[in-house]
Structure 1
Amino acid sequence: MIKKIILCLTLLPTLSFANKIHVATEIKTEKKEKYQEKIPKTVIIKTKKFKVRIDKQPNGNYLYQSWGANTKITAKPSMIISDGEVIPDGSGGNYYFEFNNNGTLYQVWRNYLTNSSKKTPYTLVVIDGNGETLVRQDAQIVKN
């Protein structure tokens, strides 16, 4: 009888830990689902030099298309990058889309939380293969 009690007491922390892992995984999944609900299926932004359209694809990845700032969006895009992903940034709801084009990263940041009320809602960042920032331009929403 005493052996059974001791066995139960030694297994109790293990079972409790396993339950905590299960609950933490469920919470993480719920947060991710709520987070994904905030991301629009299509975003169109305009910087000083570019118009960018980002669309969610049926496979869950994102498609990046860009034009010159004064080009109509109905024209053929000057650049198309597929298989982009959305990456959460912190716990305040910020995120960014990231696209890789032969080692050059194209990121479109969503800025929910900023220090300035004048800060634009999106920022386009282009980073070369050496990690140097080639472009950093604030963007306004054309369609969200």
Structure 2
Amino acid sequence: MISKIILCLGILPTTAFTTPVTTDATSIFEVTSPKQEKIPKTVIIKTKKFKIKIDKQPNGNYLYQSWGANTKISAKPAMIISDGEVIPDGSGGNYYFEFNNNGTIYQVWRNYLTNSTQKAPYTLVVIDSNGETIVRQDAQVVKN
């Protein structure tokens, strides 16, 4: 009796995160991924030097707008980049937005797995046309 209980307890953790899928008369299990966070339609973040607003457009792509860190968002943006996309990063819910501005890549990374007081929830990374990282700044949410 005790050995059956121990056996069941040993199997429980491996089956607790599976979803049964039935095909014909056979039941198999499919592992599901952890709950993915919903990607916001609009996010506004601030680094030491920039304010950045990312908006989902009706066509499904994303729009990047940036200002100086101390400039109001109601002012004309210093930079606008259209046709950005969201790229998933791993299975933990992280992702990044990527925008191409004449060969310079702007990425805004969402860091769910490192969501703590020591690590900012977003990171801005700018990569020049030679593949060199020229900017890497942590960012806090101004509006989400």
Normalised by the size of structure 2, how large is the TM-score? 0.74
Question: Per-residue deviation at 1:138?
Answer: 0.2
The 1-side partners of 2:57 and 2:116 are apart by 33
- The residue type equivalent to 1:94 in the other structure is N
CA distance in 1, matches of 2:72, 2:117: 30
Unpaired runs of 5+ in structure 2?
1-22, 24-29
Q: Tell me the equivalent position of 2:136.
A: 136
Q: Which residue of 2 aligns with 1:68?
A: 68
Q: Deviations over 1:81-104 (max 9, x none)?
A: 000000000000000000000000
Q: CA deviation at 1:115?
A: 8.4
1:55 has 2:55 as partner = yes
| Aligned residues: CA RMSD | 2.0
Describe the superposition over 1:3-55 as per-residue Cα deviations: whole angstroms up to 9, x where unpaired.
xxxxxxxxxxxxxxxx9xxxxxxx9xx97xx75x7100000000000000000
Aligned to 1:38: 38
User: Contact (CA 8 Å) 2:115, 2:121: kept in 1 or not?
Assistant: no
Shift of 1:114: 2.0
Task: State whether residues 114 and 121 of structure 2, in contact with CA within 8 Å, keep that contact through their aligned partners in structure 1.
Answer: no
TM-score (norm 1): 0.74
Q: CA distance change for structure 1 residues 115 and 43 in 2, over 3 Å: closer, same or farther?
A: closer
Aligned ranges for residues 1-144 of structure 1 at < 5 Å? 35=36, 38-114=38-114, 117-144=117-144
Cα distance between partner residues in 1 of 2:115 and 2:40: 24
Letter in 1 for 2:44: I
Structure 1 alignment gaps of length 5 or more:
1-18, 20-26
Measure, in 2, the Cα distance between the counterparts of 1:72 and 1:137.
20
Count how many residue pairs are aligned between Structure 1 and Structure 2.
Answer: 114
CA apart distance, 1:117: 4.3
Cα displacement string for residues 106-128 of structure 1 (whole angstroms, at most 9, x for unaligned residues):
00000001286410000000000
* C-alpha distance in structure 2 between counterparts of 1:84 and 1:116, whole Å: 27
Q: Distance in 1 between matches of 2:115 and 2:55?
A: 28
Letter in 1 for 2:88: P
Name whichever structure is richer in helix by fraction: 1
Aligned twin of 1:16: none
Which amino acid letter does the alignment assign opposite residue 52 of structure 1? I
